[in-house]
Amino acid sequence: MMIFTYSRVSTLDQSTNMQVEALKAAYPDAVHRQEKKSGTTTRGREVLNLLLDMINQGDKLVVWKLDRLARNTGDLCKIVDHLESREASLEILDQKIDTSTATGKAFLQMLGVFAEFETNLRKERQLAGIAAAKANGKHLGRRSSLTDEHKKEIRTKNAAGINPTELSRVYGVSRGTIYNVLKNAPLSLSGEL
């Protein structure tokens, strides 16, 4: 039986030290692996996928906390199903869950549902905050690189025959930006620019 531990943080400036220390204290002789990748999906997590490929019958994958492994119920279920298909198990140290037991399996599924619920609540709060900011007239996103005066000049120069490629060089913006300025030109009462 082999024991593999997995530590993960989302960004390069974060550290896995606390996770690694806890995992090494529990399983000093295990194969320890770590990576710095977002946990929102299992795609692109090469170290995790390598461990899942290496695990065989009787082996165990150990993580410090559930969210270090998966952030949604779908990914969590896929990982657990994969481990079960290989007759291996999962242990989560912090919550004292071990899928080699029926209680551990049931508890893990409940935790997965709550973890996904928490993620969805966080998204709802974020969207509510964005809506409130917009309602209060706050500008969200990158500021326009062109002033209203620039936009007026672009329309005038284009009407005089200067093409969008040349205008993009003159104003230091992409052709797409020039096309958006021309497309969003306000019409005068006479129907002209």
Residue 88: give its domain's CATH number: 3.40.50.1390
- The beta strands (E) that lie in the chain are given as 3-9, 31-36, 60-63, 89-92, 97-98
pLDDT recorded at residue 145: 81
- For residue 153, what are the domain limits? 148-183
Residue 61 maps to a domain: yes
In a domain, 28, yes or no: yes
Q: What is the pLDDT of residues 23-54, one digit of tens each?
A: 999 999 999 999 998 877 788 899 999 999 99
Determine, yes or no, domain membership for 132.
no
User: 162: helix, coil or strand?
Assistant: coil
CA atoms within 13 A on the CB side of 6: 28
Q: List Cα–Cα distances, 116 to 45, 88, 103, 142, 193, in angstroms.
A: 19, 24, 20, 30, 51
pLDDT of res. 139: 75
Rounded distance between C-alpha atoms, residue 71 and residue 69, angstroms: 7
Res 63 pLDDT > 80: yes
* Collapsed DSSP state (helix, strand, coil) of residue 32: strand
Tokens representing residue 168 in the block: 């993009």
92 and 171 assigned to the same domain? no
Residue 98, domain member (yes or no)? yes
186 φ, ψ to 5°? Answer: -70, 140
**pTM of the shown model:** 0.58
Calpha distance 34→5 (Å, rounded): 8
Instruction: Say if residue 140's pLDDT is above 50.
Output: yes
Same domain for 7 and 90:
yes
Last residue of a domain, one of 84, 102, 120: 102
Q: Is residue 131 part of a domain?
A: no
pLDDT at 122 over 90: no
Distance of alpha carbon 36 from alpha carbon 11, whole angstroms: 6
pLDDT the model gives residue 191: 44
Q: Total domain count for the chain? A: 2
Is 112 inside a domain boundary? no
Residue finishing a domain among 45, 70, 102 = 102
Same domain, 154 and 98: no
190 within domain boundaries: no
Read off the pLDDT of residues 83-113 as tens digits, 9 standing for 90 and up. 989 999 999 999 888 988 888 888 877 877 8
What mean pLDDT value characterizes the chain?
87
Positions annotated as catalytic residues are: 10
| Residue 17 falls inside a structural domain | yes
Residue with tokens 């900011």: 133
Q: How confident is the model at residue 6 (pLDDT cuts 50, 70, 90)?
A: very high
13 shares its domain with 73:
yes
Same domain, 72 and 13: yes
Separation of alpha carbons 27 and 62, rounded Å? 9
Q: Are residues 88 and 163 in the same domain?
A: no
- Domain end marker among 83, 102, 121: 102
- Tell me, yes or no, whether 15 and 75 share the same domain: yes
